[in-house]
Amino acid sequence: MKLAGAGSSSVHVWDLAAPGVVTSYLDSHTEDVTQVRFHATHADLLYSASVDGLVCQFDTSVADEDDALLTVLPIEDSVRNIGFIGGSHLYAITHTELVSVFNLETEQRVVDRCNVRQAYAANGIEVDFVVDCQADAEAGRLLVLTGTSTYVSHTS
């Protein structure tokens, strides 16, 4: 079993059966890494998200960074959170509340930086921030969990 973490712009991988860091990927991101996640069904595939606006896919069975780096997905904005929709799609939430979805097989963006605030406002729903996304596998869709910062005071 593997474990991954990040420090600054570096990604580190540990194998729980071996002492110490197994490998580190030091040059793929230029700014702070905000999240690392292993693929839902492929245990050796690791995804890292960063403030630099990139999501990188690594094959953690390969130690050399140049060979391990399989894909770079351009989110084009500081990435706060990533996750999977089944085993075939990845979603990315930016610090500016934009949501993108990529098909992992084709590396194509299938949802292009959706502005959640504007999309909900068009339907009369107030949204200040995206909390997270949740995949609804049965329906084959992505549920976007949102919130508001509206404070309602009550005085008696």
Instruction: For residue 126, give both structure tokens.
Output: 């107030």
What residue ranges of the chain have pLDDT lower than 70?
151-156
pTM (two decimals): 0.87
Calculate the alpha carbon distances from 51 to 2, 63, 73, 80, 121 in Å: 24, 24, 13, 7, 27
Q: What is the tens place of the pLDDT at every residue in 74-104?
A: 999 999 999 998 888 999 999 998 999 999 9
Contact yes or no for 49/35 (Cβ under 8 A): yes
Contact yes or no for 23/69 (Cβ under 8 A): no
pLDDT at 153: 44
